[in-house]
Structures are given as structure tokens and as C-alpha cells.
Amino acid sequence: MGKKRKRGERGRPWYRAARDQWCVTLDDKITPLLDGKGRPVRGKDNRAGADRAWHELHALAAVPDNGADNEVRTVLELYLQDLERRAGSAKTLATYTGYFKSFLARYPRLLVKDLRPAHVHEWWRQDRPGWGNSTKNLSGAAFKAAFRWAASPGRGGAIIPGNPLDGMPLPTMRKRSAEVVVSDDEFAALLALVKTPATRDLLTVAWETGTRPVNLSRATAANLTEDGNALLFADWNTAEGSAVHKTFHRTGRPLVVPLTDRAREVALRLVAAYPAGPLFRTPTGLPWTDVRLANTVLHYARRAGLAGRFTAYSCRHTRATALLEAGHSDTDVAAILGNTPGVIHRNYSHVAAKVDRLRELMNRASKGT
């Protein structure tokens, strides 16, 4: 009778029934196989999943040595895994995954050393002809971020020698800030059409503060400061596993949203009504989401004759424009809206600058030559 082979001796996956895990034996050590999201591969009948994880394990083990000979597919997959580990937003993760899958469907075996900006442009032209400059800009930025990460020693471990898309120009995004600004009278007319108090409260505070709509959908009683004068978004008053605010993962700083008297009254009333859970809720008591808010705003914008002009971000853009035209500095406006002065300058300063320039031209024209 021949000698019995030890399980996993030939490197093939084997099922560990006691723990419901597929494993391999590497250097006499039992190693559980993990799927693309880092979860153990389970199920006695899931040999296909185990084989797939095993092949990926082999491929990833060779990544540091392959350098520019790595497939683009491998680099993008590793970047998505890292993004998920860093608790990137689910929306960003889903968006980037969609971009990468579409690109790889056209270039399934493309190597990093062969990747050129022309591949991205050809993908746009052939597979996404209906995309505008804004979407092209966002998708191109996703690819550049992935390869910048892979080439960085401190982040991606320099698994590739350089970023093949470094320096690739991106289409200029269309700035809609001026297009979606509405007047006080227009907003008042729209708000008059809103009959449900829950929706009125959300739109009122969004209009008064100019904060990002997502901040209001995340707000709880814990975010209201003790004096009730502001909403404060920090790590210590945010539930574990939830996003703090848009730029927290990059800056590490809390976000302060000053409340006007009108917004403060709404916030205090909602804190009394909802000491736990979200402050701002739909008329049926559900948390606001991007889709629910967008659909609700679109409904009232159409009724008010503002379709295409009033969006969920109109309150923010209008507040920024009004503050700048009132003579407030980029720094003050940035502090109020939770931006950096640079962002305010790039996106809004042209509004105030244009007004000042036109006034100067008119004053000159009114003087005798």
C-alpha cells in the first residue's frame, strides 16, 4: 500500500470541514484561502471559488517581482482592495469598480508597461461615447489615482516602477455652480410647494447653511454642539463604521457647520424629536439617501419651473455665490462651507470678480472722455 499523501501537499486547495474553509498547505502551514474582499472561501461545493482564490494568490505573490510586467487588471484589483480596506465610501468604490471593469473588458490582458493615455482615450471613444467632460475627468482621475498608488513606495509598495498615466491631461469639468444658483424668491416659491414638514426642514437647513446635503443625511443629535449653534462632524461623535465627512480621511479635521437662527430652530426641534438616529428623515421616516433626495428635489424643481437649475447642490452654490458677492473673503466662505480657500477661488471667485469688473467698466463709461 502506497504512502498516504498529506492533504495540500501538491499545493491544491482542500476543504477544511471543521471550520468550513478552503485552505492550501504552504511550507507545512495551513493557509485559509480568501476571496477578493478578504473573506474566507467557504462551502464544501465551492471548489471553483477556491481554485479562483488560489490562482489569484499565486498571481498576487508574484506582483512585487513583476513590476511593469504586471497586468493592468492586477494593479486595478489591488487598488480597489486597498481602497476598501481604507474604508473608502461605498459609492466611490462602486463607481471606480464600474470604470475599471468597463476598461478591462476592452483591454483584458494589457500590461502596465504597454499602457498609454491613448488606451484611456480610445476606451472613452469606443465604449463611452455619450460621456461628457465631467465623467471623463472623474474616470480618468480614478485610473491615475490607481497607478499613482501602485508606484508609491509608501502606499502601494512601489509594485510598479512608475505611473504610466502620469501627466495625462484630463478634460476640463463643466462648472455648474453659476448655472444652478437661484434667487431667494425662486427658492421661497419652491419651498411653498413642499407640504411635508420633513422635506421642508431638510431644504431649509440646506439653504440656510450651504452645507453638503450628505452632511445633513448623516447628522444625528450627537452632532449638534452643546449651545446648538453648529453641527460638528468629528470621529468621536460618529458611529463606528460610518463616514465622518467628505474630506475627513484626507485632512483628519472635524467639520463645523454654523447654523443661522432659522436653521438652529429646526435643528433643536429635530434633536428633541429624534434623540437617537438621523435628525433629517423622509416623510415616511426613512433616512435620506442620495437617490431619494435627488428625486425629491427634481420633483419640486419641475413643479416650480426650475428643472435643470435647482438641484440638491443649488443651496450650497447659491450660498457661496451670495457670500462672495457680499464681499466676504475666500477664506471666510471656505470656513463657512467646509472647503479650502483654493476650492472656493477656483469654483466661485469668478462670480464676484466678474461683478466688480463690470461695475468698474460701467463707472468708466459713465464718466466724460
What CA–CA distance (Å, rounded) separates 56 from 304? 54
Residues of the chain predicted below pLDDT 70: 1-11, 36-37, 57-65, 87-88, 155-156, 174-179, 241, 248, 339-362, 364-369
CB proximity list for 143: less than 8 A, separation 6 or greater? 99, 100, 103, 120, 165
In terms of Cα–Cα distance, which of 219, 221, 192 is closest to 280? 219
What CA–CA distance (Å, rounded) separates 342 from 331? 9
pLDDT for position 228: 93
H-helix segments, the chain: 47-61, 63-66, 72-85, 90-106, 117-127, 133-151, 184-192, 197-209, 213-218, 248-251, 261-273, 290-303, 314-325, 330-337, 341-347, 349-366
Taking the CA of residue 181 as centre, how many other CA atoms within 13 Å lie in the half-sphere pointing to its CB? 16
pLDDT for position 90: 77
The domain limits of the chain are 14-61, 67-151, 184-355
SS3 221: helix
pLDDT for position 309: 87
DSSP 323-342: HHHTT--HHHHHHHHT--HH
Fold of the domain built from segment(s) 184-355: hpI Integrase; Chain A (1.10.443)
| Count of positions (residues) in the chain | 369
* 179, 309 Cβ separation under 8 angstroms: yes
pLDDT for position 240: 76
Give me the amino acid identity at 172: T
Residue 302, all three cell numbers? 419641475
Full-model pTM: 0.59
What CA–CA distance (Å, rounded) separates 245 from 114? 38
pLDDT for position 322: 82
pLDDT for position 283: 94
Same fold, 67-151 and 184-355: no
What CA–CA distance (Å, rounded) separates 172 from 134? 7
Q: Which CATH architecture has domain 67-151?
A: Orthogonal Bundle (1.10)
* 64, 90 Cβ separation under 8 angstroms: no
Residue 112, all three cell numbers? 502596465
